[in-house]
C-alpha cells in the first residue's frame, strides 16, 4: 500500500469524522452519537459543553495528526507501519484528556457549573 493512501485511510478518515462531529454535534443526550462519558451525560448543559470542547479538540488534533502523517509519508525513506496509527491514538487520547480536564475545571461532581 502506498504511504499516502495509508495516511489518508487512517488519519484522513479521523479528520473527516472530526469535521462531521464539529459541524453536526448531537442535539440531545443519547447513547449513540457524541462524547459519552458518565460525567458528560449528567445533564444537558454538561453534555453540550463536553461535546463542543471535544469536537473542537478532535478537529485541531486530528488536523495536526493528518499533517504530521503526510509529512512523514513524504519525507521518510522507510515504509510506514505503526506511525500513523500512533498519531491517531495520541490524537484521540489527548482530545479525551483535555475534555475531561475542562469538565473538571468548569463543573462540580454534582453537575453544577462552578
Q: Where are the domains of the chain?
A: 3-27+34-105
CA distance 1 to 95: 29
pLDDT per residue as tens digits for the range 11-28: 999 999 999 999 999 999
**CA dihedral over 55, 56, 59, 60, signed as positive or negative:** negative
Of 2, 4, 10, nearest in space to 91 by CA: 10
Q: pLDDT at position 94, please?
A: 97
Of 94, 81, 76, 77, nearest in space to 10 by CA: 81
Provide the whole-model pTM: 0.91
Mean pLDDT, range 65-73, rounded to an integer = 93
Amino acid at each position: 500500500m502506498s504511504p499516502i493512501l495509508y495516511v489518508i485511510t487512517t488519519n484522513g478518515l479521523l479528520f473527516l469524522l472530526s469535521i462531521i462531529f464539529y459541524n453536526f454535534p448531537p442535539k440531545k443526550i443519547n447513547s449513540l452519537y457524541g462524547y459519552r462519558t458518565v460525567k458528560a451525560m449528567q445533564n444537558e448543559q454538561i453534555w453540550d459543553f463536553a461535546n463542543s470542547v471535544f469536537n473542537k479538540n478532535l478537529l485541531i488534533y486530528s488536523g495536526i495528526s493528518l499533517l504530521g502523517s503526510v509529512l512523514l509519508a513524504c519525507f521518510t525513506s522507510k515504509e510506514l507501519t505503526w506511525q500513523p496509527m500512533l498519531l491517531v491514538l495520541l490524537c484521540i487520547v489527548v482530545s479525551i484528556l483535555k475534555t475531561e480536564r475542562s469538565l473538571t475545571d468548569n463543573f462540580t461532581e454534582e453537575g453544577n457549573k462552578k
